[in-house]
Amino acid sequence: ATIRCRARGSARESDGRRVPCRGSAVVAPGWTRLPWLPCRVSSLPRPATPPQKSARGVFTPRGVCVYVPAAVKVHFIGIGGTGMGAVAGLLRAAGHDVRGSDTAVYPPMSEQLASLGIPVFEGFSADNLAWQPDTVVVGNVNSKDHVEVAAAQAAGIPLTSFPAVLGEQLLAQRHPIVITGTHGKTTTTSMLAHILMEAGRDPGLFVGGVPIALGQGWHLGTGAEFVVEGDEYDTAFFDKGSKFLHYRPRTAVLTSVELDHVDIFESIDAVRDTFRRFVALLPADGLLVVCHESAEALALAKNAACRVETYAVVEDGEPPPDLTWRAENLEYLKNGRVAFDVVGRGEQLGRFETLLVGRHNVANVLATIAVAVDRGVQVEIVRRAVASFAGVRRRLELRGIASGVWVLDDYAHHPTAVRETLRAVRRRFPKRRVIAVYEPRSATSRRRTFQEEFVAAFAHADEVVVGRLYDPTRIPKEERFDPERLALDLHRHGTKATHITETAAAVKHVAGAAAPGDVVVVLSSGSFDGLHDRLLDEIGDPVVPARRADMAGVRALLEKVHLSAAGATDENYGHYFYLRNERGVDGVVALDVVGEDAILHSLAVHPDARGTGFGWLLADVAVQWARHRGCRRRRGWVTDARPTRSEGHHPNGWRRVHDGGHRPGWHLGA
């Protein structure tokens, strides 16, 4: 049997002889080399004798390479989770037969699984295993009594976890860069992968979020590096160790260490212990990049056997003498970007800009710069990549603008994360009123561990709406967080606050309180009963980013008004925005970002809505979106959207341009 080999020059046969390699290598009959594991021809040891093939012989290592029987069938219990769905996508991309089950799967994961052709069984049942998978991946929320776990065990199907699959099968032959810590993991992981991609490294990626530019939280990659978000939460009911203990780190970032996940960590000592075990995994020739501003993280770094470098944001006073990397001279620009100087390893690396707002995000960016430079990426490439990184979904993600009200979505549910998120919003929108809408949903936020700390965290908002406690029956009464008390405490400390138990009532309250120019920040680790979209619809005439499922309606409107729909493919949904009302898609505009330029095109309004001002509303929202993305120049492409005057200045701020190598169009103002 032969396999495709990405190596050049030579390879080894099963008997250890070196042979010319022209895109294939010889392996034992019946075994196929995993396509995502590049062949390290310069250091291949003599392969061990391959084991006998068996019906259950899944993911068997052979020497430094990993082999699996052809057409492995893998079933995921709880495939809708970000981690489970990402590993399912990685295996499907590698050519394996992947299916899964869950009670419900929501966008964007539902869209990603559908685009990959991964069938999802709705609900859990023993019948979901009738297709006879070779192995079953169990999510950490599933217990040993789960109906599908019991069915798998009864059928003799091996159980495993997604961290084990990731570590043993995807990371063993790569250079794992593991980003861990209590806060900032998702953003830091996503940005580092973006930098390496921009440098042409084609890294692997596994992250518990969705980078906006990539559209999914995983990437197989062919390069040496594999960037992984290292979560300290437990692995599975049969493996109570932290997920990141499976990830074989060679380079690691430790952003912070605080008490979190109080459902599995009884105290900060337990948190320290699991991070100490992680640090001990780093080899002597590895690298640990640790945040100097976290005393707990610094203390743990002293136990590392590898090289340690530190980073911090320095705004006042002299930097600590043992600081390896620092960001200084922070400047919050009018276009929404943050600019700062970087000093690393004693050298001035110059000025950097990022679209990410807040001091905490500058620290996250600094960590990625440190790792990228250590991996040999040129500073200028790093600078350009940092400037172009568009962020991550659910991390201050703009969900829509309705009647001048901005609705942002953020995953923050720990008091430190809530505080830093609201501070960042204040920096980004200094003259606007900020309304925070909070759902206590995570295992930590539903407990009273941080009851007092949340009062200080939410003090950075002008008004706070506290929703009901999610599924309180799963938390002992004496341990439950008290949302009504939080609202009362905030009110006593001078922050307007209301506790509203029903989501529908919360939607009406916020819609009535919000005025044009206000910023509503929805904070939840879950869907919050769809509050984001319900709020936008309640305010009226929302312009929202298109999703994959919306693109059929987008194409239909473009064709109805005789504009080209060729570019409005399902894959390009990230470029389109539409105005939503009872008719469905009532208006469309597309926004392409090219460097610091935003190009508007495909502006269309439903014929029945002509004369309502929707066209200018769409253009105005698109311009605001472009500013939110930090674009300095905004142009409209006249082929699809032509203002009423063909020459000179338009009364609404458009003017003709023919410069910069872009398509002739209309400049939309500063």
What is the token pair recorded at 251? 């380079």
CATH of the domain at 294: 3.40.1190.10
> Do residues 189 and 139 both lie within one domain?
no
At 486, which CATH number? 3.90.190.20
Least confident of 55-59, 186-190, 497-501: 55-59
Whether residue 427 is contained in a domain is answered as yes
Q: Considering the domain boundaries, does residue 340 fall inside one?
A: no
Provide the percentage of residues in the chain whose pLDDT is more than 70: 84
- Does residue 455 lie within any of the structural domains? yes
- Tell me if 384 sits within 8 A of 355, measured CB to CB: no
Residue 327 lies in a domain: no
Contact 340, 294 (CB under 8 A): no
Looking up tokens 């922070």 gives: 330
Rounded to 5 degrees, φ, ψ at 2 are: -115, 160
User: Same structural domain for residues 104 and 54?
Assistant: no
Band of pLDDT at residue 2, cut at 50, 70 and 90: very low
pLDDT-derived band at 637 (thresholds 50, 70, 90) equals: low
Residue pLDDT, tens place only, 402-421: 999 999 999 888 999 999 99
Q: What is the DSSP string of 427-465?
A: HHSTTS-EEEEE---STTTTBGGGHHHHHHHHTTSSEEE
Same-domain status, 365 and 244: yes
Number of folded domains that form the chain = 5
Task: Provide the b/e sequence for 493-507 (b: ≥16 CB within 10 Å).
Answer: eebebbbbeebeebb
How many CA atoms lie within 13 Å of 169's alpha carbon, on the beta-carbon side?
A: 22
Planar angle of CA 522, 528, 529, nearest 5 degrees: 135
Average pLDDT over residues 286-306: 95
Nearest to 218 by CA among 200, 203, 231: 203
**Cα angle 229, 232, 238; round to 5:** 115
Residue 63 sits in the same domain as residue 95: no
Residues 193 and 91 in one domain: no
Going by C-alpha positions, the residue among 257, 289, 253 that lies closest to residue 273 is 257
Alpha-carbon distance values, 130 to 79, 125, 133, 152, 340 (Å): 17, 10, 8, 10, 57
Question: pLDDT digits over 121-178, tens only?
Answer: 999 999 999 999 999 999 988 999 999 999 999 999 999 999 999 998 889 889 999 9
pLDDT band per the 50, 70, 90 thresholds, residue 636: low
Same domain for 469 and 372, yes or no, is: no
Residue 595 domain-assigned?
Answer: yes
State the pLDDT at residue 555.
95
Alpha-carbon span 627 to 100, nearest angstrom: 40
Q: Are 171 and 62 members of one domain? A: no
Cα dist. 108→113, 209, 346, 643 in Å?
9, 10, 43, 35
pLDDT-derived band at 652 (thresholds 50, 70, 90) equals very low
- Residue-wise burial string across 437-466, b where 16 or more C-beta atoms lie within 10 A, e elsewhere: bbbbbbbbbbbbbbbeebbebbbbbbbbbb
Please, what is the average pLDDT of the chain? Answer: 83
- Give a yes or no: residue 422 inside a domain: yes
| Percent with pLDDT over 90 in the chain | 58
Q: Is 517 in the same domain as 405?
A: yes
Write out pLDDT tens, residues 435-482.
999 999 988 899 999 999 999 999 999 999 999 999 988 889 989 999
Q: Which domain holds residue 303?
A: 164-310+360-388
3-state SS assignment for residue 601: strand
Domain boundary among 35, 69, 103: 69
Lowest mean pLDDT among 126-130, 304-308, 349-353, 529-533: 529-533
Give pTM, 2 decimals: 0.80
Identify whether 643 is part of a domain. Answer: yes
Alpha carbon distance 571, 548 (integer Å): 7
Residue 322 has pLDDT above 60, yes or no: yes
pLDDT of residue 6: 34
535, 410: one domain? yes
pLDDT at 663 over 90: no
Phi first, then psi: give them for residue 449, nearest 5 degrees.
-50, -40
pLDDT at 216: 85
Same domain for 222 and 368, yes or no, is yes
Contact assessment for residue 251 and residue 219, using Cβ atoms and an 8 Å cutoff: no
